[in-house]
Structure 1
Amino acid sequence: MRLGKHFASNYALVMEDIQVKELVDKSLRRTRLHDVAFHELKNTLKYQMEKHGKALLLVDPPYTSKTCAKCGYVREDLTLR
């Protein structure tokens, strides 16, 4: 909660609207701990931002790692290496 308050009072927040269930193998979904942690983080940040009169902006995940935040250029040849 303290981290959420800190971010909400000092920053504008934007995060990917990630669907964790789609990223994790079905056999690993049984525990759902990864779902809970990300969901809690997103909910805490959203609550704190609204409390401070701000909005948490959720963006679609495609190309967020490839898109330049300043100019919007999408680098197609970006690899994991």
Structure 2
Amino acid sequence: MRLGKHFARNYALVMEDIQVKELVGNSLRRMRLHDVAFHELKNTLKYQMEKHGKALILVDPPYTSKTCAKCGYVREDLTLR
């Protein structure tokens, strides 16, 4: 996959460790994630990163949308839509 190779050569990668099977509630959201083939993308990126001597860093999803990547501040008043 060209995209995986491009990212592996040029970037350090961090992504959410989303377990699609464990998502509950919104079935439309689950269907969209399946359509994107998230699992396949994650595996391809992991393979390409390891091939280029880098690590794909997977982070726990809770609070990733609420936490500022720059300073670490957690904004508690944000809700899921």
3-state SS of paired residue (2:58):
strand
What pairs with 1:47-58 in structure 2 (closer than 5 Å)?
47-58=47-58
2:73 is the alignment partner of 1:73: yes
CA displacement at 1:56 relative to structure 2: 0.1
SS in 2 for 1:71: coil
Runs of 5+ consecutive residues of structure 1 not aligned to the other structure: none
Runs ≥4 residues deviating over 4 A: 24-33
* Structure 2 unmatched runs, 5+: none
TM-score (norm 1): 0.83
RMSD of Structure 2 on Structure 1 (CA):
3.2
Cα 1:27–1:11 shift into 2, 3 Å:
closer
TM score, norm. by length of structure 2: 0.83
Once the two structures are TM-superposed, the CA of residue 79 in structure 1 deviates from its matched residue by 3.3
1:73, CA displacement in angstroms?
Answer: 0.4
The answer (yes or no) to whether the contact 1:49–1:56 under 8 Å persists in 2 is yes
Aligned residues between the structures:
81
